[in-house]
């Protein structure tokens, strides 16, 4: 029908599987993390806090997932986008929920944006590895 846009979204079952895959990678790395999965509108679909995962990372994981879904780009790409633009660098970082460091990835169904994943609690590289482990569920 004209005037409508069809959108893909992550199912709750896939979101739960992604959480488990990210947590499995965290266990393999010997870390405790928070994992958040959001739909294309940034609404929380699934979340888990591993035992001993940092409390502050709860909100950070959710914001990483939100940022990735809102802009359709991994959060680690943001700094390179803003670093040489003083007005953007000092302004956009005040945008509520925007995260400009690694650990958040968009989730796509083919070319369509379907949501985001955010992991927080490890190093930048560890958080990214946990996200990538979850994303393998849809890319393999």
Q: Dmax over Cα atoms in the chain, in whole Å?
A: 51
Local confidence pLDDT in tens for the 140 residues of the chain? 789 888 899 999 999 999 999 999 999 999 999 999 999 999 999 999 999 999 999 999 999 999 999 999 999 998 787 777 766 666 666 677 888 889 999 999 999 999 999 999 999 999 999 999 999 999 86
Q: Which residues pair with 104 in a beta bridge?
A: 118
Q: Where are the beta strands (DSSP E) in the chain?
A: 34-39, 44-49, 104-109, 112-120
Q: What are phi and psi of 99, to 5 degrees?
A: -120, 130
CA distance 17 to 46: 9
54, 36 contact by CB (below 8 A): no
Q: Which residue has the tokens 């991994």?
A: 74
Token pair recorded at residue 33: 């993390």
Q: Are 128 and 76 contacting, i.e. CB atoms less than 8 angstroms apart?
A: yes
Distance between CA atoms of 116 and 36, rounded to whole angstroms? 8
Q: pTM for this structure?
A: 0.91
33, 51, 97, 107, 116 from 55: Cα distances, Å = 10, 10, 17, 25, 21
């Amino acid at each position: 029908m004209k005037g409508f846009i069809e959108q893909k979204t992550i199912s709750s079952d896939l979101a739960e599987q992604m959480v488990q895959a990210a947590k499995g990678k965290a266990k393999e790395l010997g870390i405790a993390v928070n994992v958040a999965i959001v739909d294309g509108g940034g609404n929380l679909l699934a979340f888990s806090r591993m035992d001993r995962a940092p409390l502050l990372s709860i909100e950070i994981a959710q914001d990483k997932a939100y940022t990735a879904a809102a802009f359709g780009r991994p959060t680690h790409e943001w700094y390179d986008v803003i670093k040489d633009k003083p007005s953007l660098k000092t302004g956009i970082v005040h945008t509520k929920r925007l995260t400009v460091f690694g650990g958040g990835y968009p989730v796509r169904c083919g070319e369509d944006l379907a949501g985001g994943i955010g992991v927080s609690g490890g190093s930048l590289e560890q958080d990214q590895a946990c996200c990538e482990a979850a994303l393998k569920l849809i890319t393999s």
